[in-house]
Amino acid sequence: MLQLKAPSLLRQQSYVDGVWCDADNKETIVVTNPATGEVIGTVPKMGRTETKRAIEAANKAWPQWRRKTAKERSIILRKWNDLMLANADDLALIMTSEQGKPLAEAKGEIAYAASFIEWFAEEGKRAGGDTIPSPSPNTRIVIVKEPIGVCVAITPWNFPAAMITRKVGPALAAGCTMVLKPAELTPFSALALAVLAERAGVPGGVFSVVTGASREIGAEMTSNPLVRKLSFTGSTGVGRLLMEQCAPTIKKLSLELGGNAPFIVFDDADLDAAVEGAIASKYRNAGQTCVCANRLYIHDSVYDAFAEKLVAAVAKMQVGNGLNAGVTQGPMIELKAVEKVEEHIADAVAKGARILIGGKRHALGHTFFEPTVLADVTASMLVAKEETFGPMAPLFRFKTDDEVLALANDTEFGLASYFYSRDIGRIWRIAEGLESGMVGINTGMISNEVAPFGGVKQSGLGREGSHYGIDDYQVIKYLCMGGL
């Protein structure tokens, strides 16, 4: 059992219509700690019936929630934010135990997660419409923004708290209600957030958490006509499927899907800064983030120097159980994830890449993997096309700006990209030339609640965070007032 200061935060039931409950058939899913293989507990394995009930409850709760003033909703959300911060130690412990990331990173994610609730508590008060000068003297044009209605969210395991709050925050602030299906691997973080939402005064039905079988829950969420919007973070494949399933009922969609981020180091870059950025972008969360650098393009003239510095930095990383002090890289989430990294390394090595450091499973066993750097990587290798989603940095070589821009954009994804240069002309040319929703320039860390997070191409639709983030949960109504 986890040693929590507030044991009530570890709930082994789902939260539907303001009630903590089991699956109708009492089936459960076992949740394990990836660092130890130990069982943390179980959560209900719910399906279509319970999901339908949660959606109907959300629909029933909606009129009262939307009738509240933005300020009334804001006060409740603000309290939820405060409770998250006050319980940050416990929430981080739950997260590290079920997800594996180092405790310091988990604490960072709780602060990041809470920041979306705080931000949208404020933004909800400012999400008004406007007026447009009429082309006719006898009419007036007024634009009001309304909550879209019942929303559903499906979230992944790599950010077990923040991927939830960046959806629930704007939804609730805008006056919508939401049913969430968290990832099967990390449901306890989601349920702990629900405990705090209830405590903060979020009314029953306004926010429900349904744990269980993704296909059944997803099928109900995407087909139920009461649901007006789906927000999903996860793989492009599942995103595409959900989009298809939403087509018959024309739901509004927010999709945060896969990435294949290029990380370019030009010959005029500050190499030490670039190495620091690469470590932060590539190895955070053991390389399991959708904005992780996936392909590192290094200019020919600084290739060897950069590789040497990166290897030296990687050699200092501490792999281990995220609960242990000093650990900078925890286990990977599951064996399947380890196998994908192994596949990418084997494919690259077979085609001529060299392993500079790491390259195999860590001596600690379980799903621990050595932080890895590969040199002499080329466009013909798997890693050039697919997201590795693991702690492996492949170094590609390039000579000209045009060449690297073409290589960087040669992907169906377009989430994040990064580059290092001190030349102002090049900075503008490359920033404008990169096909991605976000560009880190001389930095490997770009995410925060005030900036719009999202992709172009097959990386998704919509934006999360920032003052744009609430738009995804609102619809525009045009009032044409005639007869003046």
Among 124, 156, 287, 394, binds ligand ADP (CB under 6 A): 156
Which residue pairs, CB below 8 angstroms and at least 24 apart, start in 326-330? 327/102, 328/102, 328/283, 329/102, 329/283, 329/286, 329/371, 329/391, 330/34, 330/35, 330/96, 330/99, 330/100, 330/101, 330/102, 330/286, 330/368
Of 12, 36, 134, 235, which lies in the binding site for ligand ADP, with binding defined by CB under 6 A? 235
Could you tell me the smallest distance in angstroms from the CB atom of residue 184 to ligand ADP?
5
Q: Which of 56, 184, 343, 410 binds ligand ADP (CB under 6 A)?
A: 184
Residues 327 and 317: their CA atoms lie apart, in Å, by 8
CB of 9 to ligand ADP, least distance (A): 21
Output the smallest distance, CB 183 to ligand ADP, in A. 4
Q: Which of 176, 193, 238, 470 binds ligand ADP (CB under 6 A)?
A: 238
> Near ligand ADP by CB under 6 A, which window of 64-72, 103-111, 233-241, 397-405?
233-241
Ramachandran quadrant class, 152 (left: phi over 0; alpha: psi -120 to 50; beta: rest): beta
User: Helix (H, G, I), strand (E, B), or coil: what is residue 338?
Assistant: helix
Nearest distance, CB of residue 125 and ligand ADP, angstroms: 31
Instruction: Match 């050039």 to its residue by tokens.
Output: 384
How far apart, in whole angstroms, are the C-alpha atoms of residue 271 and residue 153?
Answer: 40
82 SS3 class: helix
Residue of 29, 75, 104, 241 interacting with ligand ADP (CB under 6 A):
241
Vertex 92, ends 91 and 96: CA angle to 5°?
120
- The answer to whether 422 contacts ligand ADP (rule: CB under 6 A) is no
Task: For residue 21, give the amino acid letter.
Answer: C
| Residue 183 engages ligand ADP in binding (rule: CB under 6 A) | yes
Distances from the Cα of 275 to the Cα of 37, 294, 483, angstroms: 33, 14, 66
Assess 218 for contact with ligand ADP (CB under 6 A): yes
Name which of 45 and 228 has its Cβ closer to ligand ADP.
45
Judged by CB under 6 A, the stretch of 4-12, 37-45, 153-161, 295-303 that binds ligand ADP is: 153-161
Instruction: Single out the segment in contact with ligand ADP by CB under 6 A; choices: 43-51, 90-98, 230-238, 415-423.
Output: 230-238
Nearest CB to ligand ADP, comparing residues 27 and 270: 27
Rule CB under 6 A: say whether 223 interacts with ligand ADP.
no
Three-state DSSP at 482 gives coil
Question: Binder to ligand ADP among 234, 331, 371, 414 (CB under 6 A)?
Answer: 234
Question: If binding is defined by CB under 6 A, does position 240 make contact with ligand ADP?
Answer: no
Q: What are the contacts of 481-484 at 24+ separation with CB within 8 A? A: 481/139, 481/140, 481/141, 481/142, 482/138, 482/139, 483/138, 484/137, 484/138, 484/139, 484/140
Nearer to ligand ADP by C-beta: 17 or 387? 387
Tokens at 322, concatenated: 């995220």
Selected from 71, 199, 215, 360, the binder of ligand ADP by CB under 6 A is 215
Antiparallel, parallel or unpaired: β 261-265 and 372-377: unpaired
Residue 29 to residues 23, 32, 184, 218, Cα–Cα distance (Å): 10, 10, 8, 17
- Active-site residue, from 118, 256, 387, 464: 256
Residue 256 annotated to the active site: yes
Return the closest-CA partner of residue 365 out of 32, 96, 2, 34: 34
Task: Tell me the torsion sign for CA atoms 408, 414, 419, 422.
Answer: positive
Q: Which is nearer to ligand ADP, 148 or 238 (CB)?
A: 238
For ligand ADP, the nearest residue by Cβ is 218
Which part of the chain contacts ligand ADP (CB under 6 A), choosing from 80-88, 131-139, 202-210, 235-243?
Answer: 235-243
Please report whether residue 154 would count as binding ligand ADP according to CB under 6 A.
yes
- Count residues binding ligand ADP (CB under 6 A): 14
Minimal distance in Å, beta carbon 36 to ligand ADP? Answer: 21
Helix axes 187-200, 88-99, angle to 10 degrees: 160
Per rule CB under 6 A, is residue 253 in the interface with ligand ADP?
no
Residues that bind ligand ADP (CB under 6 A): 154-157, 181, 183-184, 214-215, 218, 234-235, 238, 241
Active-site amino acid positions: 256
